[in-house]
Amino acid sequence: MTDHLARIDNLRVRRPAFEIHGISFTVPRGSVVGLVGPNGAGKTTTIRSLLGLVLPDSGTVEIVGRPAGSPEALSRTGIVLDHPTAAPEWRVNSLGRRLAPFYPGWDQHRFDELLDRLSVPPGQRVGELSRGQGVKLSLATALAPAPELLILDEPSSGLDPASRREIGAIIREFMLDPQRAVLFSTHITTDLTDLADELVVLVGGRIAHRGALPEAVEEFAMVRGSGAAPTGPVLGLQRSGEQWFALIRMADSAAFGPEAVIDAASIDDIIIHLAADHEEVPA
């Protein structure tokens, strides 16, 4: 048994207008890894590579020690997208018999239980579901086969706070088993605060930061001031009139004089300013 459920090693994906530049990270058992970054950073391409939907130009992509996209890897992985992947004309209560042959561990009782808990109408056609109901259906479908790895790609975008809280509660229940793991891609970074152990920040197809979530918040800070631009090491300097503000590493805070104000950095601050810093430097 491997100590990680997903492994990406030196992944490169080249497209005419985009490239993943040799990224590497793992999703250890017992962890929730948050994959974050601005639009176009490469999050979905990375996830599609894990699912075998995008073939890498080079590098290694594995799930449960098996090649990405292989039947065994997929049978042990639950996938939640921001829309249901079932045919729109199928009825919700027909999905069990349609999907069970592909998943040895399919649990129809668990599926029905989740549909009831998440208020997904079983007699309705998939194409008639609201956006929120579609995401909840995807979650029920992903969890019914009792996967080891759960991959969520922007599941809570556009959902109301109550639905997002409900999905978070189910993820926490899933993680009560220390042999499981979650890879969670999202723009709503507040969803990660109570869930994620690790943070991977993608910017421009590169990993701009990787590490434990609490350590990321401790490593960075925001600095602000007025007048001339600071001479200290800053990331993603921005201006608003005479005011300037930027991201810094706490280790560099002594480089700024008493006129500068240093505040705590949020995950959003880290993503925004790492992305702005990337845009200032040619790839």
Query: What digits encode the pLDDT tens for the residues 27-42?
Result: 999 999 999 998 888 9
> CA–CA separation, 185 vs 68, rounded Å?
18
What's the pLDDT score for residue 282? 43
Percentage of the chain beyond pLDDT 90 is 59
All structural domains of the chain with their residue ranges: 4-214, 216-280
- Above 50 in pLDDT, residue 195? yes
- Residue 280's pLDDT is 53
What is the rounded CA–CA span in Å between residue 225 and residue 235? 14
Query: Which of 5, 145, 143 shows the shortest CA–CA distance to 155?
Result: 143
Least confident piece of the model among 51-55, 118-122, 147-151, 273-277: 273-277
Q: Is the pLDDT of residue 281 over 50?
A: no
Q: Determine the CATH number of domain 4-214.
A: 3.40.50.300
Average pLDDT score over residue span 107-115:
94
Q: Which pLDDT value is given to residue 283?
A: 43
Question: Residue 189: exposed, middle, or buried by beta-carbon count in 10 A (0-12, 13-18, 19+)?
Answer: middle
**pLDDT band of 10, cuts 50, 70, 90:** very high
Least reliable range by pLDDT among 69-78, 101-110, 188-197, 208-217: 188-197
- Model confidence over 212-243: pLDDT tens digits? 988 888 899 999 988 887 877 899 999 888 89
Q: What is the pLDDT of residue 120?
A: 93
When pLDDT is averaged across residues 54-82 and rounded to a whole number, the result is 91
On average, the pLDDT of the chain sits at: 89
**Overall residue count recorded for the chain in this entry:** 283
Question: Which pLDDT score is estimated for 258?
Answer: 82
Q: Report the alpha-carbon distance of residue 53 to residue 51 in Å, rounded.
A: 5
> 181-185 and 77-80: which strand pairing?
unpaired
CA distances, 225 to each of 25, 211, 230, 240 (Å):
36, 29, 8, 11
Residue 62, pLDDT > 50, answer yes
**Does residue 8 register a pLDDT over 90?**
yes
- In terms of Cα–Cα distance, which of 237, 258, 232 is closest to 247? 237
Please tell me the predicted confidence (pLDDT) of residue 92. 94
pLDDT: is 193 or 67 the higher one? 67
Token couple for 72: 């065994």
Q: What average pLDDT does the segment 101-116 reach? A: 92
pLDDT surpasses 80 at 138? yes
Report the pLDDT averaged over residues 47-60.
Answer: 93
The first and second tokens of residue 61, run together, are 């992509």
pLDDT score for 1: 60
Question: If you average pLDDT over residues 62-85, what whole number do you get?
Answer: 88
51-71 mean pLDDT: 92
Model confidence at 188: pLDDT above 90: no
| pLDDT at 15 exceeding the cut of 90 | no
